[in-house]
Structure 1
Amino acid sequence: MTQEERLDAIAALLERQQRITVDEICRNFAISRDSARRDLVKLTEQPRFQRIRGGARLLKLIAEPLPFLQRSRSATKVALAQRTLEVLQPGASLYLDSGSTLLELARLLAAQAQPFRLVSAALDALQLLSQNPVLSLHGLGGEFEPLQRMMLGAEAERQLGLFRLQHAVMGICALNEHGLTAPTAAEAGLKRRAISQAGHLIAVGSSDKFGQQQLHQVCELAQLDLLICDALPAEPLRQALSDLDIPIVTLEVSLD
C-alpha cells in the first residue's frame, strides 16, 4: 500500500470514528510509529483533520449561521424552551441570551404569571417579553448586530456588569470537550460577561452543535452547571461532562 492509499484509508476511518491514534494506525496498517506520525503530519495538512496528542481527529465544518429572521421555528426548539422553563425557579433573575431556541423561551416567559426578572440584549426576545407587565425587564444598549438581532460591544458589556443574576441562560453556538465557543469576539465577550454576573450557567441547544468549535472561547466546559439538549452527546464530550459531574437534561431523560 502506498502512502497516498494509506492516507485515504486513514481519512475514511476518521470519517467513521471521529478520532484515530498512532497505535491504531500502526496496528491497522502494519507500519512503524515513525511512519504513522509522518502519515498524520501529511494528513493534517488538510483543514478537516487536526493533530491531537497521540493521534488526530476529524473537525466538523461549521456552516455560516443563518440571519436570525430566516431561522425556522421547530417543535424541538419549543420543547427545549419548555424544558428550560421547568428548571427555572419562579421569579428567578436571569440573563437571556439570543438565538431561536431562546426566543421560544421568551415566548413562554411572556405568557407566565411568575414575576421573572430578566436582562437581555436580544431585541426580538425583549419585544415578546415586553408584552407581560408582570416581568421585570432590562434591555441592554450597545452596537446593533443584524445577524443575531442583538446589541453587542463594550457598552452592552458595561451595562450587563451592573447586574447580579441567578442564571445565565446561554444558547449554544458550538460545544465540545473544551467548552463553549462563539463565532465573533463581540458575541463571545457578552456571553463571558453574562457568565461572570450569574451564579448558575445553563447552556441550551440542539445536539447538532456538539463536537463543533468556533474561533472565540466563551468558557471552559467546567463552568457549565447544566446542559439542556435534544439528545445525549457523543464521545468525547459525553465523557467530559460525566467526569465534571455536569447534569444533562434532554427531551427524554435527565442524567445527574
Structure 2
Amino acid sequence: MNQEERLISILNYLELHKTINIKQICEKFNVSRDTARRDIVNLTNQNLVTRTYGGIAIPSFHKQIEDYQERLQIEPFSKNLLGKAAANMINDSDLVYLDISTMVNFIPQYLESKEVTVVTNSIDCVYELVQSDKATIHILGGIVNKSSRHVSGYSAIEKLSDFNFNKVFIGTAGITEDGIYYGFEEDIYFKRELIKNANHVILLADYTKFNKHHKYKGLPYSSIHTIITDKTLPDNLNKVISKNGIEIKVVNKE
C-alpha cells in the first residue's frame, strides 16, 4: 500500500472511529512510527484532520476536546522539541516523575526504547506510556480532574513521599525574576512536596513563559537544577538564573 492509499484508509477509519493514534496506524498499516508521523503531518497540512495528543482526529470531533487538549496545540513544534530534549536526559533504570504540563506530555513518546519507571498523575502521559513495552508506570491516586486530565488531591500528594526520584520534569505558567509561577493554588503545594523527593529537577518552559506572572508563586530558583527552553532567555532572567547556578539548555530548532 502506497502513502496515498494509506492516507485514504486512515480518513475512512476516522469517519467511523473519530480518532486514531500513532500506535494504531503502525499496527493497522504495518508501518514504522516515523512513517506514521509523516502520514499525520501530511493529513494535518491538508487541513483534513486536527492533531490531538498522540494522534489525530476529525475536526468536528476535536471541537469537543477540553481546554487542556487545546493547549497542547499552542506552539506544538517547540513543545515537541523540548520533550525530545528532556527525554534524552533520561537513562535506563531511572525513576522519573512527569508533570501534567502540556509540554512535559511530549516526553513519553520518546521513551519507548528505555527501561524506565515513570510516576505521573497525568492521564495523557499514562495513555502514551502504555504503548511502550519497557516502561513501568505508577499513576498517583485521587480525584480525576476532567478538564486538565489529571489526578489530584491529598492522596496524590501523600504518595509522593514513597519515591526517591532520579529526575523530575515539571512545567510552569510563568517565569519572572522572582521565581516560578503557576495558575492554581493546588499546583504550588504539589510541586513543593514533589521536589523534596527529587535528586534533579528539570523545568520545561518555552519562550511564551518568559517574564510572565501568574496567580501563584510556586517555586524559588533554588529548587531548579536545569531549565530546557526554545529561545535564549532575556537578560534579566538569564542573570538571576545564572546566579543560582541553574543549567540552561536551549533547544536548537534547526
Work out whether the TM-score is over 0.5.
yes
Structure 1 residue 84, shift from structure 2 partner: 0.8
Matches within 5 A, 1:176-215: 176-215=176-215
- Alignment length (residue pairs): 186
Matches within 5 A, 1:140-151: 140-151=140-151
Residues 1:87 and 2:100 are matched in the alignment: no
Q: Secondary structure at the match of 2:128?
A: helix
| CA–CA distance in structure 1, aligned partners of residues 180 and 145 of structure 2 | 20
Over residues 18-55 of structure 1, what are the superposed CA-to-partner deviations in whole Å (9 max), with x where a residue is unaligned?
xxxxxxxxxxxxxxxxxxxxxxxxxxxxxxxxxxxxxx
Q: Which residue is 1:234 aligned to? A: 234
- 1:92 is aligned with what amino acid? D
Runs of 4+ in 1 over 3 A off after TM superposition: none
| Preserved contact between residue 122 and residue 151 of structure 1 (Cα < 8 Å) | yes
| CA–CA distance in structure 2, aligned partners of residues 143 and 231 of structure 1 | 36
Structure 1 residue 218, shift from structure 2 partner: 2.0
Q: Secondary structure at the match of 2:84?
A: helix
| CA–CA distance in structure 1, aligned partners of residues 152 and 180 of structure 2 | 18
Structure 1 residue 102, shift from structure 2 partner: 1.4
- 1:160 is aligned with what amino acid? L
Structure 1 residue 146, shift from structure 2 partner: 2.7
| Preserved contact between residue 117 and residue 135 of structure 1 (Cα < 8 Å) | yes
Over residues 184-208 of structure 1, what are the superposed CA-to-partner deviations in whole Å (9 max), with x where a residue is unaligned?
1112222222111111110012011
| Preserved contact between residue 179 and residue 222 of structure 1 (Cα < 8 Å) | no
Structure 1 residue 237, shift from structure 2 partner: 1.0
| Preserved contact between residue 98 and residue 120 of structure 2 (Cα < 8 Å) | yes
Residues 1:169 and 2:169 are matched in the alignment: yes
| Preserved contact between residue 96 and residue 165 of structure 2 (Cα < 8 Å) | yes
| CA–CA distance in structure 2, aligned partners of residues 229 and 171 of structure 1 | 11
| CA–CA distance in structure 2, aligned partners of residues 213 and 235 of structure 1 | 17
Over residues 194-241 of structure 1, what are the superposed CA-to-partner deviations in whole Å (9 max), with x where a residue is unaligned?
111111110012011011122223210122100000011113111001
Larger-Rg structure: 1
Residues 1:78 and 2:80 are matched in the alignment: yes
Structure 1 residue 90, shift from structure 2 partner: 2.7
Residues 1:252 and 2:252 are matched in the alignment: yes
| Preserved contact between residue 95 and residue 117 of structure 2 (Cα < 8 Å) | yes
Q: Secondary structure at the match of 2:200?
A: strand
Residues 1:106 and 2:108 are matched in the alignment: yes
Residue segments in structure 2 that go unaligned for 5+ positions in a row: 1-65
- 2:152 is aligned with what amino acid? L
Q: Secondary structure at the match of 1:99?
A: coil
| Preserved contact between residue 173 and residue 181 of structure 1 (Cα < 8 Å) | yes
Provide the TM-score with structure 2 as the length reference: 0.69
| CA–CA distance in structure 2, aligned partners of residues 207 and 90 of structure 1 | 30
Provide the TM-score with structure 1 as the length reference: 0.68
Q: Which residue is 1:119 aligned to? A: 119
- 1:76 is aligned with what amino acid? S
- 1:159 is aligned with what amino acid? K
Identity of aligned residues (%): 20
